[in-house]
Amino acid sequence: MISVNVTFIDQKIQQIEISGHANFDRHGKDIVCAGVSAIVYGSINAIDQVKKNQIEFKIKEGYTFIKVKKDSSNLQLLLKMMLVQLQTLEETYGQFIKINQLMEV
């Protein structure tokens, strides 16, 4: 299962950690993993081009970590767009992807 942990502080996304594998199908045929990868890589690339140096991120096999370094309303919009896309996958493939939202004050 893919686990997505989103940490909010004062209702703003501060970090996103994605780990695991969907195991929906075999490697190369797993549409859930492919969907998550496309959403996450596309979002990171867009943020990196539009809002340079506002996030730090790590990407490894089966693991991605995104942390806000310098917040802005445009950055929050891009991060929320990524979250909504992942939630759309979760609605259909909930046994393969789980999103946890952690609210901090």
Task: Give residue 93's domain range.
Answer: 2-104
Residues taking part in catalysis: 21, 33
pLDDT value for 66: 98
Low-confidence ranges of the chain (pLDDT < 50): none
Domain count for the chain: 1
CATH code, domain with 45: 3.30.70.1490
* Residues paired with 17 in a beta bridge: 5, 65
pLDDT value for 27: 87
pLDDT value for 21: 95
pLDDT value for 105: 75
pLDDT value for 51: 85
Task: Give the other-Cβ count within 10 Å of 82's Cβ.
Answer: 22
DSSP string, 34-97: HHHHHHHHHHHHHHHHHSTTSEEEEEETTEEEEEESS--HHHHHHHHHHHHHHHHHHHHSTTTE
